[in-house]
Amino acid sequence: MPEIIKIDLDDETVFRTQMVKIKRILNLGGVMAFPTDTFYGLGATAFNRKAVSRIFKIKQRPKDKPLLTLVASAYQVNSMALEITPTAEILIEKLWPGPLTILFSAHPHLPSQLTANTGKIGVRQPGNEMVRKLLSGIGFPITATSANISGTENVTTAREVEETLGSQIDLIVDGGAAPGGKESTVLDVTLSPSLLVREGAVTREEIDAILDIPCIAVP
């Protein structure tokens, strides 16, 4: 069964010790479950091809579906994207941290499975403070796909993750119950106008209110 670490933000010494263990597991190609802004997700370093491949196997996820990623700060986007366009800069300034996933042109060093050979990478800075501290302690972008078998219900607790995925993962970061709710909005800024791939917690109206050119939606 996976190791379970209950995150303690109140004790800085304990938290730093926990982060050393979590980072070591991920650096070795491990896969962890952790709470996001909505549900529990599966995290692995976005740069490790074997770890990314494991997530597809664990989730039984079709290979033509890319994985979204999380960053601790806008600065980390530079390691994922070939270019941060002016449109992306505005969105990052106004709507990050928060439930907006931005699609960038992917850096060629990223695993092809991560992008599903689309040439694009979805990146988000989460609104959840605990998750941002976790990402800052890890020090590199991680995957953020839901911690479930593809096509099944999302899970909101560490116990549900353990019951669902069991020994297939290496670690469960128990940050308490995730709140659930709408998925993140996904916006492709590699196109002009930007393309609204999925409308979620951030509405089309909110996006259009800060862009010079309104986005268009997937037909």
With 0.75 as the threshold, say if the pTM is over it: yes
**CATH assignment of 3-184, given 3.40.50.150, 3.40.50.300, 3.90.870.10, 3.40.640.10?**
3.90.870.10
Element (H, E) at 195: strand 195-198
Query: In sequence order, which ranges of 60-188 are alpha helices (DSSP H)?
Result: 86-95, 112-115, 129-138, 158-165
Domain boundaries, the chain: 3-184
Which residues, other chains included, contact 217 with Cβ-Cβ below 8 Å and sequence gap of 6+? 195, 196, 199, 204
Note down pLDDT in tens along the chain; length 219 residues.
899 999 888 899 999 999 999 999 999 999 999 999 999 999 999 999 999 999 999 999 999 999 999 999 999 999 999 999 999 999 999 999 999 999 999 999 999 999 999 999 999 999 998 899 999 999 999 999 999 999 999 999 999 999 999 889 999 999 999 999 999 999 999 999 999 999 999 999 999 999 999 999 987
β-strand partners of 217:
196
Do 184 and 100 contact (CB within 8 A), yes or no?
yes
Q: From CA 104, how far away is CA 1, in angstroms rounded?
A: 36
Q: At 217, phi and psi to the nearest 5?
A: -105, 155
